[in-house]
Structure 1
Amino acid sequence: MCVRLLVIGCNHTVTPEFGLINCVFTHHRLHNAADIKPMSVYENPESPTMSTQRGQKLNSLQHLLPEGLVVSSRWLDEAGYSSALRSKYVASGWLEQPARGLYRRPRAETQWQHMVVSLQSLMRMPVAVGGLTALELQGYGHYVPMGHLRRVYLYTEARLPKWLNEMGQTIQFLPRNARKLFSSGAISKTINALPPLASTKNDETIEGPANGLRIHVWGDRSWPMMISRPERAILEFLDELPDNQSFQHVADLFTGLSNLSPRQLQETLESCDSVKVKRLFLWFAERSGHSWGKRLDLDAINTGSGKRVIAKGGRLDPKYHITVPKNLDGH
C-alpha cells in the first residue's frame, strides 16, 4: 500500500524523494495515492504565467548586471525593476546595496575600474578617466602610488552621483570639470556612441574615439573603459598646477613622454581652451627637448596674451610669459 502525507496549509504532497517540508502541518493517511495529484515542493500558489515572468525578469537582470558592476536605483527603475521588486531581491539575496541608492550582485568584488565601466557603459554618464590616472594606465606614471588610498581622476561633463565615494575607504574619486579645458562635449558624444556592454577585443587599447580619447580594455572580461589619451591626459595633469601637483612631478613625468604623437598633440592643443595649460605644456616641452616638440605648429595654437602668475615667487619666463620656479631639478 502506498502512503503519502497531504500537507494541509502548505498545499504540498510530501514524497520520499523530497523529504519533510519545514512547516507546520496536519496530515491524513490515504489508502489510494491516486486520489492525490502530485505537486512539486517548489510550486508557487501564484499562476504559472506570473512565476515564469518573475523568473525571466530575474534572469534578465543577471544578464544586464554582470558581477562586480553597479547600477543606481534610477537605472533599475528605467529598466522595469520597481522599488518593491528591488527590496524583494535584496531580501532574497539576489541583490545587495553597497551604498544608498546603489545596487550590485551579491558577494562580488568591486574595484574602481568596475565603477567606471558601470558609469560609462551601463548608466551612460559622460565621464572619462583622465589626468594622472590615465597616464599611469598607459605606462607613463613616474611614481609608484603609495599607501592604501587609490586616487582616481575623473573628467566629467555632468555632476557625478554622491554615492561614488561611499563605496569604501580605499578608493577616492576626484571629479574634474572636463569643459574647463575642452568645451567640445567630446566625452558625452563618445559615451552615447558606445555599444551595449560586451567583451571587446583582447588588445590592451583599441583606437576609435577622437578628441583625445581612447578605449582602454580592462579586466578578464575585456570590458571597454574610456580614458584620455596621453596627449590629452598630460594637459589635464598640468591643470592641477600649482595647487594640487608640483612642478617637479610634472618635470619628472615629461622625461618619459618621448613617444607622444605630434599629430595628436597638435589637435589636442588646438582644441584646449586653457591658456595657462597650453603655455605650461609648451614650456615643459621645450625644456624636455623631445623630438615631437619640433613638429608642432605653434602659430596654430592660441596662447592668449598677457602674463600668468603660476609659480608664486618664481621667475617670469620671457617667451611664454608665465612664472615658473626659480630652481627645478636642482638648478
Structure 2
Amino acid sequence: MNTARASKLNKLLSTQPRDIVLLSAWLAEQGYSLELQKQYRKSQWFDSIGTGALVRCGDQLDYLGGVYALQAQLGLSVHPAGKTALALQGKSHYLELSAKKAQLFGSASEGLPLWFKKYDWGLSVDCKLSSFLPPELGLVDHEHKSFTVKISSPARAVMECLYMAPKSQPLVEVYELMEGLNNLRPAGVQKLLESCRSVKVKRLFLYMAAKAGHQWLDYLNLDKVDLGSGKRAIVPNGVYISAYQITVPRELEAHV
C-alpha cells in the first residue's frame, strides 16, 4: 500500500471508534472509494458483515455498534427502547432479559437495512416502527465502549412499553417498571405527554403514575394533554377506572 493510501487508512482508523459498523456508502461520502474499500478488505483491515457494511478486523461487534451506524451514518432515529433502554440505564427489574433480546424503536417512515436484519447479533432484535412520539424527543446519550448512541429516557421507555401493551408487553410488568421511576423531571414528562399521539399510552401512563403515588405527577399541567374522549377498554372483562376512562386488567388494579 502506498504512502497516501496508508495515511488515509490511518486517518480512518484513528477517527472512528472501534466495535462499530462502517457503511460503504458513508465511507464513500468521506472520500473512501469502493475500490479503496476493496483494497482494505483484501489487506484484511476490514471484514464485510453484509452488503454495504464493514467492520474492523478483530473488533468485538454487538448490536449497539450496528445502532451507532444507523444513527451516526444513516441519520435514522432507530434507538434502543422500552425495557432495553431501561436495562441499559440500570432501571429495569428484568436485567437478565437484556442479554437475550433487544427492543428497538424507529419512526414509521424508516426501516432497518438488510445487513442489520441478517447479521447474527447474538441475541434477538425486535424493531417497532411507529411515530406515536416525535423521533427526537425524550432520547438521552448512552456511552458504550468507545462510542455513544441515543437511547430512550426512562419516561419515553415506559411509554414505548405501554404502546406495545397489552399484546406483547404485560401491563403488570410495565407498572413494576413505573414504580421505580420516582425521580422523573416533570418538564420532560410534560413534553412527552403533549407530543404523544396515542390516547391509550397517555391514559395508562397517568393511571400508573397515580397508582404508584409519584410526586412529579402533581407538577404536570394535564389541561395541555389531549386525553381524547370516551371510554377505552384496554382489555376485556377488566376493571373500569373512571378517572382515566380505561378498563385495565384486574390483576393490575389489584397489584400493590
Q: 1:165 is aligned with what amino acid? A: K
**1:262-273 maps to which residues of 2 (within 5 A)?**
262-273=186-197
Task: State the SS of the aligned residue for 2:166.
Answer: coil
Structure 2 residue 250 is the aligned partner of structure 1 residue 307: no
Q: Which residue of 1 aligns with 2:106?
A: 155
- Whole-Å Cα distance in 2 between the matches of residues 152 and 109 of structure 1? 21
Q: 1:218 is aligned with what amino acid? A: H
Structure 2 vs 1, CA of residues 235 and 173 (structure 1 numbering), >3 Å: closer, same or farther?
Answer: same
Q: 2:91 is aligned with what amino acid? A: Y
Structure 2 residue 118 is the aligned partner of structure 1 residue 166: yes
Shift of 1:275: 0.7
Q: 1:248 is aligned with what amino acid? A: V
Shift of 1:146: 4.0
CA contact (8 A) 2:23 2:69 kept: no
**1:228-307 maps to which residues of 2 (within 5 A)?**
228-307=152-231
Shift of 1:52: 2.8
Structure 2 residue 142 is the aligned partner of structure 1 residue 216: yes
Query: Normalised by the size of structure 1, how large is the TM-score?
Result: 0.70
Query: Normalised by the size of structure 2, how large is the TM-score?
Result: 0.88
Task: State the SS of the aligned residue for 1:98.
Answer: strand
Q: Which residue of 1 aligns with 2:64?
A: 113
- Unmatched segments (≥5 aa) in structure 2: none
Q: CA RMSD for the aligned pairs?
A: 2.3
Structure 2 vs 1, CA of residues 176 and 319 (structure 1 numbering), >3 Å: closer, same or farther?
Answer: same
Q: Which residue of 1 aligns with 2:151?
A: 227
Query: Residue by residue, what CA displacement relative to the aligned partner does 1:283-304 show, whole Å, maximum 9, x if unpaired?
Result: 1112111111222222221100
Task: State the SS of the aligned residue for 1:239.
Answer: helix
- Whole-Å Cα distance in 2 between the matches of residues 57 and 327 of structure 1? 61
Task: State the SS of the aligned residue for 1:108.
Answer: coil
Q: Which residue of 1 aligns with 2:11?
A: 60
Q: Which residue of 2 aligns with 1:190?
A: none
Q: Which residue of 1 aligns with 2:27?
A: 76
Q: 2:10 is aligned with what amino acid? A: N
CA contact (8 A) 1:218 1:224 kept: yes
Q: 1:229 is aligned with what amino acid? A: S
Query: Residue by residue, what CA displacement relative to the aligned partner does 1:251-277 show, whole Å, maximum 9, x if unpaired?
Result: 211221111112211121111111110
Q: 2:118 is aligned with what amino acid? A: E
% of aligned pairs identical?
35
**1:200-211 maps to which residues of 2 (within 5 A)?**
211=137
Moved more, 79-88 or 130-139: 79-88
Picking from 40, 49, 57, the partner of 1:98 is 49
Structure 2 vs 1, CA of residues 64 and 167 (structure 1 numbering), >3 Å: closer, same or farther?
Answer: farther
CA contact (8 A) 2:230 2:245 kept: yes
Query: Residue by residue, what CA displacement relative to the aligned partner does 1:202-253 show, whole Å, maximum 9, x if unpaired?
Result: xxxxxxxxx322222232x3x3221222122211111010111001101211
CA contact (8 A) 1:99 1:163 kept: yes
- Whole-Å Cα distance in 2 between the matches of residues 103 and 147 of structure 1? 25
* Bigger RCO of structures 1 and 2 (CA < 8 A, at least 6 apart): 2
Structure 2 vs 1, CA of residues 182 and 314 (structure 1 numbering), >3 Å: closer, same or farther?
Answer: same
Q: 1:296 is aligned with what amino acid? A: L
- Whole-Å Cα distance in 2 between the matches of residues 330 and 82 of structure 1? 59
Moved more, 255-264 or 309-318: 309-318
- Whole-Å Cα distance in 2 between the matches of residues 76 and 142 of structure 1? 40
CA contact (8 A) 1:164 1:173 kept: no
CA contact (8 A) 1:254 1:288 kept: yes
Structure 2 vs 1, CA of residues 330 and 53 (structure 1 numbering), >3 Å: closer, same or farther?
Answer: closer
Q: Which residue of 1 aligns with 2:244?
A: 320
Larger radius of gyration: 1
Q: 2:237 is aligned with what amino acid? A: G
